[in-house]
Every structure is written in structure tokens, then in C-alpha cells.
Copies of this chain bind each other. A is one copy, B any other.
Amino acid sequence: MTVPTVDALVFDVFGTVVDWRSGVIRDGKRVNESKDITVDWAVFADAWRGEYRPSLDRVRRGERSWQNLDALHREALEELLDRFGVEGLAETEIEYLNRVWHRLDPWPDAIPGLLRLQSDYVIAPLSNGHVRLLTNIAKRAGIPWDLILSAELSGHYKPDEEVYLTAVDLLDLDADEVMMVAAHERDLDASRAAGLHTAYIHRPLEWGPDEADSTEKPDESAYDIVADDFVELAEHLDASPIIR
């Protein structure tokens, strides 16, 4: 693989930087304990995340105006609480649960890799999460972003090209000076179509251990870089090690 010269790296967040599924399960189990119920929060998490793309696509097709992920997550959450028979949550408890998406933990390699990359590149998230959500995730987990980029800044959602081009513009770069890093081919294919370089990170555990075998790693030729984690990405990009 020939590694291109870029100035900035932008990262998908849900699934690529943070493990959304474990976070939802963690906070859901606390709801089980406090309400003495037995919801399967792994199934709940997958169903919640499953509502994600259709709700974004309704925004993307112009069937509804742009709203941030808190609003879209909340609509889906209310429907799912009903479907899973979770009753008796106070408004503050529902809102706290909805904001679990602000309290997700990074994959173990994410911060070690980002710290190395940060010494040589400008690094930023480029997620469908809104600016404040991404700020909260980073502040809570200590993710060392140089700045927060988000679909929100374009008024569109990925994979609309406006998201990528707005980020490139705010970085004051040309598209080919920026690399999009993601665990999802749809995101990377749209980035490449917008002129960005691309790095695929393999996250077989995104949908849980039972789905690990069905997540196929693309061929090495599909993107500029195909790597197993952020530390391997940093090595491909010759980023300086923090501890030798």
C-alpha cells in the first residue's frame, strides 16, 4: 500500500473511535437494577442503533428538517422503551439514558493511536453526532482532538458530500490533503468520492462478539490504508511513538 501525504485526519466516531454497544449495555444494566427489570440491553442497543440510519436518511432525503442526534435518538428511544416494556422511568431518567451516546468509551487502541497521530497531524472527529455530543464524549474520555468537526456544521448528514467538503473547507485544505478514517465502507466510499483519502479500521466487535465473524475486512487495495486499529494506522502514517 502506498501511503499518501496528508495534513489532517478526520474520524468517524460511533463504532470507529468509541464502542457504542458496550456503553448502551452498561447504562442499560443499571436501569435493570434500579427498576428491577430484565431487559436484554444488547438486543436493545442493536435495535436503537438500527433506527439510526433510517432516521438520518429521512433527513437526508429532505422528508424532515435537520435535527441533532439527541432529538433523533430520543424519538427512537421512546418507541423502544415501549416495545421492550420498560415502564416507570421519570423524564430525567429517560433523558439521562438518551444521553448515553455522550458517555461512550473509546476502543482500547483509540487514545494511544490518536496521541501518536496528533504529534504529526491535525486530528478531528467527523461524525453525524452534533458538536456538543462529540465535545462531551471527548471531554469525558480524554480524547485529544485538535478541533471538533461534525455533520452539524454543514446541516447535512453523512454520507452527503456536503459533510466532507465543509470539513475540508474549515481545515483550510484541499480534499486530497485530508484522510477520512472509519470502520464503515459507506462512509469511506463517500469520502473518496468527495476527493478525500481513506483509511479503513477493522472493528469486528462493533455489533458484539456474535457478529464478529460476519464483519468482513475489505481487500487492502480498497482504501489507502486498511488497518486493525489506530496504533497500526499511526505506524502506517509514520507517526512518532510517544514511548519508544
Contacts and interface: CB of A to CB of B under 8 A. Distances in A.
A130 B173 CA distance: 13
A9 to B, nearest CB: 13
A135 B148 contact: no
A172 interface: yes
Interface in A123-156: 130-132, 134-135, 138-139, 145-148, 152-153
Nearest to A145: B147
A171 interface: yes
A70 B130 CA distance: 28
B132 A172 contact: yes
Given A152-B170, A172-B68, A139 B135 contact: no
B130 A135 contact: no
A42 interface: no
Contact of A148 (B130, B138, B147, B152): B147
B152 A139 contact: no
B153 A146 contact: no
A147 B131 contact: yes
Contacts of A70: 172
B153 A139 contact: no
A110 interface: no
A81 interface: no
A146 B152 contact: no
- Residue of A145, A171, A172 ringed by the most chain B CB atoms within 10 A: A172
Contacts of A131: 147, 170-172
A76 B58 CA distance: 47
A138 B146 contact: yes
Interface in A62-80: 68, 70
A134 B172 CA distance: 12
Contacts of A111: none
